[in-house]
């Protein structure tokens, strides 16, 4: 079974935290636990760096690290498909009229197989694109975080198919390993 990590499709403009130090620390603290949030202010803005010139603004979703946002119009689809594995919270992007939601993935499993690896071997495996996942732990999973490496979202082909079927743009999938 192939396993993917997803992040931003770089054809689209990047987001930036408006209050970088405070918000980066806040989002980094979300490791799969249920959270309580009530944002009224804008959290993100569109990055104005030169690397963003000529890129598309009309994205449906963005994800970097543990920060996964999607247009609100897709919220019902996510809740129906991933009920019990996610929480959704409204979130605002400065300069963007359309509403978005932050998706907190609460499905945390012991997905990565570190058995028999020392620290150096574990780090080398994670840096590469051949992470060994525990099949018995993820064979019924679609979207998840790992208990040890919880700053990324991992998924199976089913999640990738869900995104493509619903034409949700803005994400890029990278195969990072297999489950055996």
- CA distances to 11, 110, 141 from 30, rounded to whole Å, are 27, 17, 20
Please state the pTM of the whole predicted model.
0.85
Backbone angles phi, psi at 160, to 5 degrees: -60, -45
Q: Per the structure, how many domains does the chain have? A: 1
Furthest CA-CA distance within the chain: 51
Instruction: Kindly state the tokens that stand for 3.
Output: 């396993």
pLDDT band at 35 (very low <50, low <70, confident <90, very high): confident
Q: What is the pLDDT of residues 39-82, one digit of tens each?
A: 666 677 777 666 655 555 678 988 876 789 999 999 999 999 99
pLDDT at 53: 59
Residue 30: band (very low, low, confident or very high) from pLDDT cuts 50, 70, 90: confident
* Domain membership of residue 71 as a residue range: 2-179
């Amino acid at each position: 079974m192939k396993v993917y990590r997803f992040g931003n499709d770089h054809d689209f403009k990047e987001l930036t935290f408006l209050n970088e130090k405070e918000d980066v620390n806040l989002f980094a603290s979300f490791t799969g636990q249920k959270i309580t949030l009530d944002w009224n202010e804008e959290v993100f803005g569109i990055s104005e760096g030169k690397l963003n010139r000529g890129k598309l603004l009309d994205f449906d979703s963005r994800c970097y690290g543990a920060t996964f946002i999607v247009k609100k119009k897709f919220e019902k689809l996510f809740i129906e498909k991933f009920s019990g594995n996610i929480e959704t919270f409204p979130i605002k992007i400065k300069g963007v009229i359309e509403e978005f939601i932050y998706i907190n993935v609460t499905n945390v499993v012991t997905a990565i197989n570190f058995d028999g690896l020392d620290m150096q071997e574990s780090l080398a495996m994670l840096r590469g694109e051949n992470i060994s996942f525990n099949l018995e732990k993820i064979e019924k999973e679609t979207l998840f975080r790992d208990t040890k490496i919880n700053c990324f979202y991992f998924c199976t082909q089913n999640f990738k198919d869900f995104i493509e079927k619903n034409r949700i743009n803005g994400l890029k999938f990278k195969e990072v390993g297999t489950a055996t």
